[in-house]
Amino acid sequence: MYFCVNKYLMTRSEENYIKTIFHLGRKGTQEVATNAIAELMETKPSSVTDMIKRLSEKDLVNYKRYQGVSLTALGNKTALGIIRKHRLWEVFLVEKLDFSWDEVHEVAEQLEHIKSDKLIDCLDKLLAFPKFDPHGDPIPDKNGGFKERDRELLSEVPINTGGVCVGVKDSSATFLKFLDKNGIALGNRIKVMEIEEFDGSLNIEIDGRKMQISHVIASNLYIKANDEI
Amino acid sequence: MYFCVNKYLMTRSEENYIKTIFHLGRKGTQEVATNAIAELMETKPSSVTDMIKRLSEKDLVNYKRYQGVSLTALGNKTALGIIRKHRLWEVFLVEKLDFSWDEVHEVAEQLEHIKSDKLIDCLDKLLAFPKFDPHGDPIPDKNGGFKERDRELLSEVPINTGGVCVGVKDSSATFLKFLDKNGIALGNRIKVMEIEEFDGSLNIEIDGRKMQISHVIASNLYIKANDEI
DNA sequence: ATTAAATTTTAGACAAATCTAAAAATTTGT
DNA sequence: ACAAATTTTTAGATTTGTCTAAAATTTAAT
């Protein structure tokens, strides 16, 4: 109960910082750098320092000056709560309101800050307890439980490997629209036929159709490989 | 186009003031008093004056010091946009998430500030373009069109009048829960059988069942009378 | 029609969240 | 190891939205 104290007292800004620190913290196990936060949030390092101090006061982050920052257990739980909300809203927008997957992020950024446990639990139910958002990212459960799906970047698998496209690494509107234009979507069966020595581009077969994609594209697509078939 | 300039630049606080001024302005045709705003918003008159000046700068309200305040055409349109969002979200919560009508207000107060035209238009469609919210209040259309339904307070109709319960005047959780407990809901057929001289309480027949309600209750229930039957 | 009461506005202060510019600490290059 | 470059923090200012206390204006009362 003690750890729930400030759940409903956090400002939007505090929540955004926590979320950003969570995302940056995932990459390495290192402490997150002030500059990295500032860059991602398009703000100044001095603003970040100020906010970190406040979050530290509230026991949401571990902080020693000049040594970077990391989430406490409470901070982590908070981050997962926000991400759960963000991703459930994304599913709602796509499934119920017919948004396309490149339109959901901006609105979900707003909706994720709505404070109501009942709301989010009922939304979860309405959507039939989805496990992944429209970009293939896992949705934490009520308690912050988070199962990272077994998946690999298409750029990392060897020739002749086949699998189902289950996610994107870059979920910018630009990339998602590119995928739409080229008929690439989650659920497609993809098989790597050939990898070009020269530039790393790949010849793939996707739902039966042959096409060539650059290494950059492949390194932003996740597949669940199934060599067992 | 000019009048849309600040639609997405309004702060939550500004929106709440505009909404409050709208609601207070409905009652009389008078200008709205600073104190009335302060009381309803549970803030201080000095804060209200500060905000009114800002809203006046943005051409959302007409303001002359010491003379009260009223919405401009732009302010009115803005208010209707917020109310539209509030009431659509209320319908969503009741229809799709099984909230009861006494639980929706608080959450809708948050959701009404989400900024996305597409979101609200799609929500409207999902809900099949409802004309009234769960409390019987009309939902403005996309352009702010607003048809006040033909209805009367139950306390105002003469004996032997029958009609359908179409709305509540007080939509506080307390009153709504009272109605639930006593089996009174929108859609019920109500007929006034007798009015008590002494305290103005009413003997009514509601969906066939007889009961007695106080004058206060009756003066918070709207019916659409149909003497024509 | 003055005085008293109520309402409204100003003045000045404060907290949150941000910024710029300058100082401090850390990391890097040779 | 030590100077240079980079990163991070501090100091001080700004904006939004609020407050208290005091002054100005309007309204009500006798």
Residue A48: band (very low, low, confident or very high) from pLDDT cuts 50, 70, 90: very high
| Per-residue tokens: B22 | 């709208």
Instruction: Provide the pLDDT for residue B29.
Output: 66
Global confidence as pTM: 0.93
Residue B106 CA distance to nucleotide C15 C1' (Å): 25
pLDDT score, position B147: 85
Does residue B155 have a pLDDT over 70?
Answer: yes
Report d(CA B226, CA B229) in Å as an integer: 6
Out of A97, A119, A126, whose CB is closest to B122? Answer: A97
Judged against a pLDDT cut of 70, whether residue A14 lies above it is answered with yes
Q: Are A85 and A112 in contact (CB under 8 A)?
A: yes
- The amino acid that residue B18 corresponds to is I
Residue A118 pLDDT > 50: yes
Q: Which residues of A touch B99 (CB under 8 A)?
A: 118, 122
Distance CA B57, CA A123 (A): 40
- Compute CA distances A75 → A13, A22, A31, A62, A89, whole Å: 14, 8, 14, 9, 21
The H or E element containing residue A61 is strand A61-63
Q: How many residues does chain A have?
A: 229
Top mean pLDDT of A6-20, A147-161, A179-193 is at A179-193
According to the model, what pLDDT value does residue B148 have?
85
Mean pLDDT, chain B, whole residue set: 93
A106 touches chain B (CB under 8 A): yes
Q: Which of B114, B117, B124 to mutate to test the interface with A (most CBs of A within 10 A)?
A: B114
Q: Is A57 exposed, middle or buried (0-12, 13-18, 19+ CB in 10 A)?
A: exposed
Residues of A within 8 A of B108 (CB-CB) are none
Segment A175-202 shows an average pLDDT of 96
pLDDT surpasses 50 at B221: yes
Amino acid at B44: K
* pLDDT per position as a tens digit, B161-216: 999 999 999 999 999 999 999 999 999 999 999 999 999 999 999 999 999 999 99
CB B222 within 8 A of CB B155: no
Residue pLDDT, tens place only, A72-109: 999 999 999 999 999 999 999 999 999 999 999 999 99
Q: Which of residues 22-61 of A touch strand C (CB under 7 A)?
A: 43-44, 46-47, 50-51, 54
pLDDT digits (tens, 9 = 90+) for B100-109: 999 999 999 9
Sign for the pseudo-dihedral over CA of A115, A116, A117, A122: negative
Inter-chain touch B122–A116, beta carbons under 8 Å: no
Which 3-state string (H, E, C) describes B52-118? HHHHHHCCCEEECCCCCEEECHHHHHHHHHHHHHHHHHHHHHHHCCCCCCCCHHHHHHHHCCCCCHH
How far, in Å, are A12, A18, A123 from residue A119 at the CA level? 18, 22, 6
Residue B228 pLDDT = 46
Report the percentage of chain A scoring pLDDT > 90. Answer: 90
pLDDT at A6: 62
* Burial B169-189, CB ≥16 within 10 A → b, else e: eebeeebbebbeeeebebebe
Model confidence at A3, pLDDT cuts 50, 70, 90, reads very low
- pLDDT, position B7: 67
Kindly give, in sequence order, each residue whose CB lies less than 8 Å from that of residue B216, ignoring residues fewer than 6 positions away.
Answer: none
User: Residue A2 CB: number of other CB atoms within 10 A?
Assistant: 6
pLDDT tier, B226 (very low <50, low <70, confident <90, very high otherwise): confident
End-to-end CA distance of chain A: 49
Separation between the CA of B15 and the C1’ of C15 (whole angstroms): 22
Torsion-angle region of B221 (φ positive above 0: left; ψ -120 to 50: alpha; else: beta): beta
Residue A98 backbone class (left: φ over 0; alpha: ψ -120 to 50; beta: rest):
left
Mean pLDDT of B83-97: 98
- Asked if the model's pLDDT at residue B6 lies above 90, the reply is no
Is residue A33 a contact partner of residue A65, using CB atoms and an 8 Å limit? no
CA distances from B113 to A130, B78, B79, B84, B119 (A): 26, 12, 11, 11, 12
Q: Which nucleotides of D are covered by protein (CB under 7 A)?
A: 7-12, 16-22, 25-26
Q: Are the beta carbons of B108 and B90 closer than 8 angstroms?
A: yes
Percent of chain A scored above 70 by pLDDT? Answer: 95
Interchain pair B118, A96: CB under 8 A = no
More confident position, B176 or B28: B176
Q: Is B54 within 7 A of strand D by CB distance?
A: yes
Torsion of CA B222, B226, B227, B229, to 10 degrees: -150
